[in-house]
Copies of this chain bind each other. A is one copy, B any other.
Amino acid sequence: MAKVSSFDVREAALQAAMVSAQTHGYNALSFRDLAAEIGVKSPTLHYHFPTKADLAEALMERYCDELARNLEPYTDKPFEEAIERYIQLFKVGFDGSNKMCLAGMMSAEVTALPDGAINGIARFANYQTDWLKRVLAKKHTRMSKERLENRARAIVSALEGAMLMSRGHGGDEAAFDRVIDTYKATGLLS
C-alpha cells in the first residue's frame, strides 16, 4: 500500500463519510468503521476531526460547496433549463443507491448536531433559495421579492419531502417523478 499524506486521509475520510451519512445517516456513522474503510485506526480520524461533531460540520460545509458548484453554471440559463437542472440534482442522489440529501438527513438528526452543522443546514437552504429566486424572477418578472422568497422556500421544502418519501419507499424513482410532475401541474414548480 502506498504511503498517503495527511491530506489524503482527511480527504478519503470526508468522501467515505459523505456516502455513509447520506446513506445511513450521521448517527449511524461509526468512526471505527470509517477508519477501517480508509485503512487507518479510529484515533487517527480524531486527529483530523477531534469529535464526530467536527466531522458533521466539515461534511455540511463540503455539501454546501458542492451545491454552489453544481448550480452556479445554470444561474443565467433559461428558467426551464435551470429548474430541470435543479430537479435533477435532487434525483441524482438516490438514483440507484437511495441516498438522501445530507441537509435533509441532518435536519432529521438535528438534535445530535453542533451549531456549526446546523448553520450549514441553513446556509444550504439559503443558497438554494437565493438561486431559485433569481431563476424564478426570470419567469415571474412582476412577482414581489417576498413572494419570490416564499415560492423558493416552498420549492426547497417540497423537493426535500419528495426525496424523503421516495427514500422511505426504497428509493422509488418513478414515485419521485410523479410527485414532481404534480408539483409542476399545480403550478408550484413553474
Q: Does A46 count as interface, using CB distance less than 8 angstroms?
A: no
**Contact size class for A?**
35 or more
The docked-state distance in angstroms from the alpha carbon of A74 to that of B85 is 40
Q: What mask results when residues 100 to 133 of chain A are scored 1 for a CB within 8 Å of chain B, else 0? A: 1001111111111000001001100100000000
A-B contact pairs, 15 of them (CB 8 A): A27-B28, A98-B110, A104-B168, A107-B164, A107-B165, A108-B109, A110-B168, A125-B169, A154-B162, A157-B162, A158-B188, A161-B163, A164-B164, A183-B188, A188-B188
- For the complex with contacts A105-B108, A121-B169, A154-B182, 19 further pairs of A-B residues with Cβ separation under 8 Å are A25-B111, A106-B168, A107-B168, A108-B109, A110-B167, A122-B169, A125-B168, A150-B178, A153-B182, A154-B162, A154-B186, A157-B161, A157-B162, A158-B161, A158-B162, A161-B162, A161-B163, A186-B188, A188-B188
